[in-house]
Amino acid sequence: MRMKEKLQHLKLSDAGADMPRRILCSDIPTPCYVIDEGKLRENGKILKEIQDATGCRILLAQKAFSNYDLYPVLGEYLAGTEASGLFEARLGREEMPDKECHVFSAAYVPEQFDELLQYADHIVFNSPNQLRMYGPAAKKAGKQVGLRINPLCQTQEGHEIYDPCAPGGRLGTTKQAWDEQMDEELIGLLDGLHFHTLCEQNSDALEITLRAVEEQFGPVMKQMRWINMGGGHHITRADYDRDLLKKLICHVRDTYDVIVYLEPGEAVALNAGYLCTRVLDFVKNGDVVNAILDMSAACHTPDVLEMPYRPPLYEGFEAGEKPYTYRLGGPTCLSGDIIGDYAFERPLEAGQRLLFEDMAIYTTCKNNTFNGMPLPDIWVVKEDEAICLTDFTYEDFKGRLGTKN
Ligand SMILES: Cc1ncc(COP(=O)(O)O)c(C=O)c1O
């Protein structure tokens, strides 16, 4: 019997301690992602309260979090799922079957569209051209049809890669494109408008965006059944202004007589996961002591390099804040496979476990096996139990690279 089969369920000891400590002290093998069901529920309750207070509907953006074993939990709080294409739409339909399934893609693939119609209830198009190509078939199949608009209202600073409103962007129909390309027949296909312009932002940024959207698209919003305000709302973050969000939702609902949708990804699973790793060795180079971990930023937390982003580390501090500072990096060949410089009260030791926090989002759905790095298993913790959801092996690495079996 393989080790993993023996370890499918573990009891978490150290009752009374906080969850990170209990995971750190457990026998869950490293590296692994650990999803915290209790924290997902806390986020879910916040999102449900907003829906109850405003009548809006909140969807899970699966691009951020698609660990479907937890969909029954999220389904208790959310109205459904949002997908970026065929596979996510199918996943949403299969794993949250009684809820709404929405899809937006910058362009749909002709051979996939009929199958997509089997899964999605709402299909959002990126351009008048896509609407013309696929809108009539979607309507005929009884689907709700939407168009993504782009208000060209930049509220983010510093990362154009995440800003659909950056000049020349390809996501969404600008007012100019609307005026040039939309006609009565196309407008007649629409049930709703969609905009997504934010990234990890507070409701003040939504307020600014809404002003721009209303200025440009106000008259047509009155003809719609729903307005989808996308994701990027960091609703479950401690300093998020939820009262303002509610005010804005009610304003849109009442002014235009529409159902308001939100489709956050991050906010659903914010702070609801960990990546548990282990120190393998140390490499000193000048003043820097590198600690080599059994996880990789490039493979297991690609956003750390792409955003870039510094994940919180349990009992880890800013470099220099405590006596022992290390540069934490992965075992791959990529020189820049570095998570960051972190300081500790005591020297690290080979074999010591470390726990990165806020690791449920944009991790398991974005990882890869570069350098032949194994996929970390995915665990879930609830109350005093840890359960392993996966059993990744060499075959999962090999199976993506060529002939199967
Ligand atoms: C169309 C759309 N909806 C929702 C989201 C989810 O955003 P977030 O995870 O930042 O809330 C994204 C993220 O890129 C998106 O592109």
Identify whether the C-beta of residue 354 lies closer than 8 Å to the C-beta of residue 279: yes
Provide the H-helix boundaries in 61-145. Answer: 71-75, 86-95, 113-119, 128-140
CATH code at position 390: 2.40.37.10
Please provide the DSSP assignment of 165-198 as one string: TSTT--SSB-HHHHHHH--HHHHHH-SEEE----
- Counting atoms of ligand 1 from 1, which one is nearest the CA of 265? 9
Q: According to the model, what pLDDT value does residue 1 have?
A: 37
What's the token pair of residue 131? 């609407």
Q: In which band, very low, low, confident or very high, does the pLDDT at 158 lie, cut at 50, 70 and 90?
A: confident
Q: According to the model, what pLDDT value does residue 327 have?
A: 98
Q: According to the model, what pLDDT value does residue 207 have?
A: 98
Residue 265 CB less than 6 A away from ligand 1: yes
Distance 229 CA to ligand 1 centre (A): 10
Please give the average per-residue pLDDT across 286-298, as a whole number. 98
Distance 104 CA to ligand 1 centre (A): 10
Q: According to the model, what pLDDT value does residue 366 have?
A: 97
Q: Is the pLDDT of residue 392 over 90?
A: yes
Q: According to the model, what pLDDT value does residue 405 have?
A: 67
- Counting atoms of ligand 1 from 1, which one is nearest the CA of 200? 10
228 with 349, same domain: the answer is no
Which residue owns the Cα nearest ligand 1 atom 12?
A: 231
Identify whether the C-beta of residue 70 lies closer than 8 Å to the C-beta of residue 361: no
Domain count, the chain: 2
User: Cα separation of 330 and 347, whole Å?
Assistant: 19
- Counting atoms of ligand 1 from 1, which one is nearest the CA of 162? 14
289 with 144, same domain: the answer is no
Q: According to the model, what pLDDT value does residue 7 have?
A: 54
Instruction: Give me the residues paired with residue 157 across strands.
Output: none
Residue 403: inside a domain, yes or no? no
Residue 200: inside a domain, yes or no? yes
Q: According to the model, what pLDDT value does residue 243 have?
A: 98
Residue 64 CB less than 6 A away from ligand 1: yes
- Counting atoms of ligand 1 from 1, which one is nearest the CA of 234? 11
Best probe residue, ligand 1, of 104, 124, 196, 228 (max atoms within 8 Å of C-beta): 196
Report the mean per-residue pLDDT for the chain.
Answer: 96
Rg (CA), the chain: 23
Q: According to the model, what pLDDT value does residue 14 have?
A: 79
Residue 337 CB less than 6 A away from ligand 1: no
From residue 220, alpha-carbon distances to 123, 190, 215, 231, 254 in Å are 18, 10, 11, 22, 15
Residue 230 CB less than 6 A away from ligand 1: yes
Q: According to the model, what pLDDT value does residue 126 have?
A: 98
Lowest pLDDT segment from 104-113, 156-165, 179-188, 218-227: 156-165
Boundary residue ending a domain (218, 248, 269): 269
Q: According to the model, what pLDDT value does residue 136 have?
A: 98
- Counting atoms of ligand 1 from 1, which one is nearest the CA of 194? 1
Q: According to the model, what pLDDT value does residue 5 have?
A: 53
State pLDDT tens for residues 108-157: 999 999 999 999 999 999 999 999 999 999 999 999 999 999 999 999 98
Which residue owns the Cα nearest ligand 1 atom 4?
A: 231
53 with 21, same domain: the answer is no
DSSP state of 108: -
Please give the average per-residue pLDDT across 316-334, as a whole number. 98
Distance 362 CA to ligand 1 centre (A): 11
Please give the average per-residue pLDDT across 364-392, as a whole number. 97
- pTM strictly above 0.85: yes
Residue 169: inside a domain, yes or no? yes
Distance 65 CA to ligand 1 centre (A): 11
Residue 10 CB less than 6 A away from ligand 1: no
Identify whether the C-beta of residue 303 lies closer than 8 Å to the C-beta of residue 309: yes
23 with 124, same domain: the answer is no
CATH code at position 209: 3.20.20.10
Residue 55: inside a domain, yes or no? yes
State pLDDT tens for residues 170-204: 999 999 999 999 999 999 999 999 999 999 999 99
Residue 72: inside a domain, yes or no? yes
User: Cα separation of 186 and 9, whole Å?
Assistant: 54
Q: According to the model, what pLDDT value does residue 8 have?
A: 86
Q: Is the pLDDT of residue 2 over 90?
A: no
Higher pLDDT, 158 or 194: 194
Distance 265 CA to ligand 1 centre (A): 6
Residue 58 CB less than 6 A away from ligand 1: no
State pLDDT tens for residues 233-284: 999 999 999 999 999 999 999 999 999 999 999 999 999 999 999 999 999 9
66 with 25, same domain: the answer is no
Q: In which band, very low, low, confident or very high, does the pLDDT at 359 lie, cut at 50, 70 and 90?
A: very high
Please provide the DSSP assignment of 241-298 as one string: -HHHHHHHHHHHHHHHT-EEEE--SHHHHTT-EEEEEEEEEEEEETTEEEEEESS-HH
Residue 81: inside a domain, yes or no? yes
Higher pLDDT, 217 or 158: 217
Boundary residue ending a domain (217, 250, 269): 269
Residue 405: inside a domain, yes or no? no
Among residues 185, 323, 192, which one has the least CA distance to residue 261?
Answer: 192
Residue 83: inside a domain, yes or no? yes
Q: According to the model, what pLDDT value does residue 54 have?
A: 98
- Counting atoms of ligand 1 from 1, which one is nearest the CA of 84? 1
Distance 98 CA to ligand 1 centre (A): 22
State pLDDT tens for residues 32-54: 999 999 999 999 999 999 999 99
| Residue 309, domain extent | 3-30+273-359+367-398
Identify whether the C-beta of residue 273 lies closer than 8 Å to the C-beta of residue 36: yes
Distance 28 CA to ligand 1 centre (A): 31
State pLDDT tens for residues 7-30: 589 999 877 789 999 999 999 999
Identify whether the C-beta of residue 226 lies closer than 8 Å to the C-beta of residue 144: yes
Boundary residue ending a domain (252, 269, 286): 269
Exposure string over 16-42, b if 16+ CB within 10 A, otherwise e: eeebbebbbebebbbbbbbbbbebbbe
Please give the average per-residue pLDDT across 100-106, as a whole number. 98
Please give the average per-residue pLDDT across 349-369, as a whole number. 98
User: Cα separation of 267 and 185, whole Å?
Assistant: 37
